[in-house]
């Protein structure tokens, strides 16, 4: 372990040596107790404000069909198959015809609308939308339906009905009068029953022609009750993680399979009917998990991402395409002499986020409703790129961006693997370039995480820092018996991540940011697992891995303390992993203890150098006896943290349950004794 000998700060604590002791009663003890020495006079690193964050990508229907609360799929007929998600029905002998009209004008990004000719008969013509594998509606909740329409016929009327799988109408509304110019009509209805699988029927009656577009349905209750905003339960779960940063919008969707399908932030802002639809690369990526109806409407676009980051107190971390499409797919790159527009996009993004209202892009931000800057301080250049061609492009980006905006830290890619030739080349070259934060990814088996808990102990400490931008323990498929999609998010995977995270925290002077990936997954339409949060049309479930992230983020501390056992970092001896820190603002010492053994373990905690502790401490514990335990939508609380307040007294011993992650929060009597100078 490399300890910093001279830190810029010191913590001066008065008072005498304190020994803590607690006793847990649990039977199975196969080992002697483990001594842990925590020295509050030995701060070993600062923990950055951004240490534990979240990685958001529109994968597994995380945005459309997920966090973005729109309930209608293909609302403006822009999917390549314009009626995908829609059914045409006729009732009562109605004669009618439907055309999808392409009115593409130069510069217009929404090309199509539906033109309906209602001919004879008393019945109706119906456009019925299936939603995202059904539409989730809740009893007594209100829903906002809107439609852009025009008609020259006074007799044309529009009604809507939400219909459950038993053909019961659970909500309805009508629009009486249409005008001959295009207008958006909005009606609100209350739902009578809860159903996860409704359809939305848009019913046209009368005689004459009617044209429609942007057919939309949102819950009225959204995150912060913003009209046509985010799904409240999912947004709340993200907020409850208290992330230090949010990385968006990916992930591989930043790259696109080809450059044509890359993510372009400028196309994701402004009125939603002007945001150009794009193929989601996860639509086609995995043959076994293909999702032909997966597109990006960008209803959740860059303005909304920034706004959400602000809502939840997370530093925004956008990742931009660096002139390279996915190297696993096409490996298409833009030639170096054509890179300028990509770099300009990055410059403009910084202006959009931070510029004054008088600048071009700052003015647009203000016009969109946010006059104040979004305070962008982090920017990713490329996602999971590799090779010399990445270095060449990164250098060109960095030269321009750093000269104009030195305050914005740039994140560069270490490729898809945490070791090997590709990684070594990137790591070496990027460090030569004095890259500020290098993004390492590891999707690995449990053993890898446990073996690599010391990965950063011997890392180069000067210059470049690490962003552990995507990681998750992957339990091999052949070791999973359960058919639940969520079953890969076991307590065991969560504990191995927690153990590894103690190594990240211990090396917080090297690893300045970390995020689990991916974040959200639709239980019926996922492409990639494990994931941090699972959802269906009505509910969502936090995984054990979610709780680990939350335990670390909420109990972060800002100064890491020396935490040793027999003079060495406690990183797997007797299956215990430990780290400790001080939260100098709240005045707490925070000890994190992970026990990966099936058996209980006893630890003796010796704190030296501290002043007086308060008598009552908090213990947060996540555990299960069964390694393969997981949370499902059917049983969402199977594994969840328990919090208790206990009296410290003079006891010295803590007994950790088998398979457990523990956070002890020890409040100091006088937090003012900390001196960070």
Enumerate binding residues for ligand AHR (CB under 6 A).
57, 59, 250-252, 383-384, 416, 470, 517-518, 528
Helix axes 360-367, 340-354, angle to 10 degrees: 50
Distance CA 191, CA 429 (A): 59
User: Two tokens at 372?
Assistant: 């104040």
Distance CA 269, CA 465 (A): 32
Q: Is the Cβ of residue 160 or residue 472 nearer to ligand AHR in the bound state?
A: 472
- Check: CB of residue 45 under 8 Å from CB of residue 581: no
Distance CA 424, CA 416 (A): 12
Q: Is the Cβ of residue 137 or residue 252 nearer to ligand AHR in the bound state?
A: 252
Q: Is the Cβ of residue 470 or residue 536 nearer to ligand AHR in the bound state?
A: 470
**N- to C-terminal Cα separation, the chain:** 25
User: Minimum distance between the CB of residue 330 and ligand AHR, rounded to whole angstroms?
Assistant: 15
Q: Is the Cβ of residue 289 or residue 360 nearer to ligand AHR in the bound state?
A: 289
Q: Is the Cβ of residue 250 or residue 418 nearer to ligand AHR in the bound state?
A: 250
User: Two tokens at 629?
Assistant: 């335990």
283 closest CA partner among 256, 314, 243: 256
Q: Is the Cβ of residue 250 or residue 362 nearer to ligand AHR in the bound state?
A: 250
- Check: CB of residue 403 under 8 Å from CB of residue 429: no
User: Two tokens at 10?
Assistant: 């010191």
User: Minimum distance between the CB of residue 277 and ligand AHR, rounded to whole angstroms?
Assistant: 20
Phi and psi dihedrals of 462, rounded to 5?
A: -85, 160
Q: Which residue is nearest to ligand AHR (CB)?
A: 251
What does the radius of gyration of the chain's CA atoms come to, in whole angstroms? 27
- Check: CB of residue 275 under 8 Å from CB of residue 109: yes
User: Two tokens at 615?
Assistant: 């008598």
3-state secondary structure 295-313: EECCCCCHHHHHHHHHHHC
546 CB-side CA count, 13 A: 28
Using alpha carbons only, what angle is made at residue 75 by residues 348 and 224, rounded to the nearest 5 degrees? 65
162 CB-side CA count, 13 A: 33
Q: Is the Cβ of residue 249 or residue 609 nearer to ligand AHR in the bound state?
A: 249
User: Minimum distance between the CB of residue 468 and ligand AHR, rounded to whole angstroms?
Assistant: 13
User: Two tokens at 65?
Assistant: 């069909």
Distance CA 621, CA 548 (A): 10
101, β-bridge pairs:
113
Q: What is the DSSP string of 362-407?
A: HHHHHHTT--S-----EEEESSS--SHHHHHHHHHHHHHHHHH-TT
530 closest CA partner among 558, 501, 488: 488
User: Minimum distance between the CB of residue 444 and ligand AHR, rounded to whole angstroms?
Assistant: 12
Question: Pick the catalytic residue: 78, 211, 332, 384?
Answer: 384
User: Minimum distance between the CB of residue 518 and ligand AHR, rounded to whole angstroms?
Assistant: 4
Q: Is the Cβ of residue 198 or residue 525 nearer to ligand AHR in the bound state?
A: 525
83 contacts: CB under 8 Å, gap ≥ 6: 74, 77, 100
User: Minimum distance between the CB of residue 320 and ligand AHR, rounded to whole angstroms?
Assistant: 14
Estimate to the nearest angstrom the gap between the alpha carbon of 4 and the chain centroid: 33
Using alpha carbons only, what angle is made at residue 337 by residues 335 and 339, rounded to the nearest 5 degrees? 70
Q: Is the Cβ of residue 252 or residue 343 nearer to ligand AHR in the bound state?
A: 252
Task: Give, as one character, the DSSP assignment of residue 74.
Answer: S
The dihedral sign for the CA sequence 564, 568, 574, 579: positive
Q: Is the Cβ of residue 59 or residue 533 nearer to ligand AHR in the bound state?
A: 59
Q: Is residue 384 annotated as part of the catalytic site, yes or no?
A: yes
- Check: CB of residue 561 under 8 Å from CB of residue 606: no
Number of C-beta neighbours around residue 616 at 10 A: 11
Tokens 């006793």 -> residue: 23
Estimate to the nearest angstrom the gap between the alpha carbon of 553 and the chain centroid: 14
Distance CA 212, CA 238 (A): 35
578, β-bridge pairs:
593
- Check: CB of residue 675 under 8 Å from CB of residue 611: no
User: Minimum distance between the CB of residue 418 and ligand AHR, rounded to whole angstroms?
Assistant: 12
Using DSSP, state whether 298 is helix, strand or coil. coil
Distance CA 601, CA 26 (A): 9
Phi and psi dihedrals of 201, rounded to 5?
A: -100, 120
Q: Is the Cβ of residue 59 or residue 149 nearer to ligand AHR in the bound state?
A: 59
471, β-bridge pairs:
442, 516
Q: Is the Cβ of residue 130 or residue 384 nearer to ligand AHR in the bound state?
A: 384
Residues designated catalytic: 384
């Amino acid at each position: 372990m490399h300890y910093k000998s001279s830190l810029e700060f010191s913590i001066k604590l008065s008072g005498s040596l304190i020994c803590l002791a607690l006793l847990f009663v649990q039977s199975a003890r196969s080992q002697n107790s483990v001594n842990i020495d925590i020295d509050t006079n030995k701060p070993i690193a600062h923990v950055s404000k951004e240490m534990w964050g979240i990685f958001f990508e529109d994968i597994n229907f995380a945005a459309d069909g997920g966090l973005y609360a729109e309930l209608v799929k293909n609302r403006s007929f822009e999917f390549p198959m314009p009626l995908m998600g829609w059914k045409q029905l006729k009732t009562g002998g109605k004669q009618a015809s439907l055309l999808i009209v392409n009115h593409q004008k130069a510069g217009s990004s929404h090309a199509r609308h539906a033109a309906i000719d209602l001919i004879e008969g008393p019945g109706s013509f119906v456009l019925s939308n299936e939603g995202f594998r059904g539409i989730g509606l809740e009893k007594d909740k209100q829903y906002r339906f809107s439609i852009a329409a025009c008609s020259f016929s006074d007799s044309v009327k529009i009604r809507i009905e939400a219909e459950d799988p038993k053909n019961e109408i659970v909500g309805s509304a009508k629009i009486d009068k249409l005008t001959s110019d295009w207008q958006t009509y909005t009606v609100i209805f209350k739902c009578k029953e809860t159903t996860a699988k409704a359809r939305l029927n848009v019913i046209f009656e009368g005689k004459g022609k009617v044209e429609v577009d942007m057919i939309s349905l949102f819950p009225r209750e959204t995150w912060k009750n913003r009209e046509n905003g985010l799904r409240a339960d999912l947004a709340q779960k993200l907020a409850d993680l208290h992330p230090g940063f949010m990385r968006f919008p990916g992930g591989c969707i930043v790259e696109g399979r080809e450059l044509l399908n890359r993510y372009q932030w400028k196309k994701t802002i402004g009125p939603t009917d002007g945001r150009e639809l794009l193929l989601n690369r996860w639509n086609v990526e995995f043959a076994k998990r293909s999702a032909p109806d997966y597109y990006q409407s960008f209803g959740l676009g860059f303005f909304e991402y920034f706004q959400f980051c602000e809502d939840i107190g997370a530093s925004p971390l956008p990742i931009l395409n660096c002139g390279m499409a996915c190297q696993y797919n096409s490996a298409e790159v833009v030639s170096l002499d054509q890179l300028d527009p990509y770099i300009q996009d990055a410059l403009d993004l910084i202006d959009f986020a931070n510029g004054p209202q008088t600048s071009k892009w700052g003015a647009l931000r203000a016009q969109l409703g946010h006059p104040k800057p979004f305070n962008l301080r982090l920017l990713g250049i490329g996602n999971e790129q590799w090779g010399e061609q990445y270095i060449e492009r990164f250098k060109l980006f960095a030269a321009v961006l750093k000269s104009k905006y030195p305050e914005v830290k740039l994140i560069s890619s270490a490729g898809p693997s945490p070791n090997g030739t590709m990684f070594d080349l990137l790591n070496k070259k990027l460090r030569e370039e004095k890259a500020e934060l290098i993004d390492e990814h590891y999707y690995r088996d449990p053993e890898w995480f446990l073996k690599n808990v010391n990965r950063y102990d011997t890392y180069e400490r000067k210059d470049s820092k690490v962003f552990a931008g995507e990681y998750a323990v992957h339990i091999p498929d052949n070791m999973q018996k359960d058919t639940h999609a969520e079953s890969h998010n076991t307590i065991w995977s969560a504990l191995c991540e927690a153990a590894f995270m103690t190594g990240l925290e211990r090396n917080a002077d090297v690893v300045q940011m970390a995020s689990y990936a991916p974040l959200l997954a639709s239980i019926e339409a996922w492409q990639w697992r494990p994931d941090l949060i699972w959802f269906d049309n009505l509910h969502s479930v936090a995984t054990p891995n979610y709780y680990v992230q939350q335990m670390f983020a909420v109990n972060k501390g800002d100064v890491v303390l020396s935490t040793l056992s027999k003079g060495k970092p406690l990183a797997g001896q007797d299956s215990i992993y430990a780290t400790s820190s001080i939260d100098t603002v709240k005045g707490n010492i925070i000890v994190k203890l992970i026990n990966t053994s099936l058996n209980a373990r006893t630890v003796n905690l010796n704190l030296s150098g501290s002043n007086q502790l308060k008598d009552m401490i908090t213990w947060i514990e996540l555990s299960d006896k069964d390694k393969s335990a997981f949370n499902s939508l059917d049983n969402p609380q199977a594994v969840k943290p328990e919090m208790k307040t206990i009296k410290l007294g003079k006891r010295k011993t803590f007994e950790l349950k088998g398979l457990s992650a523990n956070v002890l929060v020890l409040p100091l009597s006088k937090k003012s004794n900390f001196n960070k100078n």
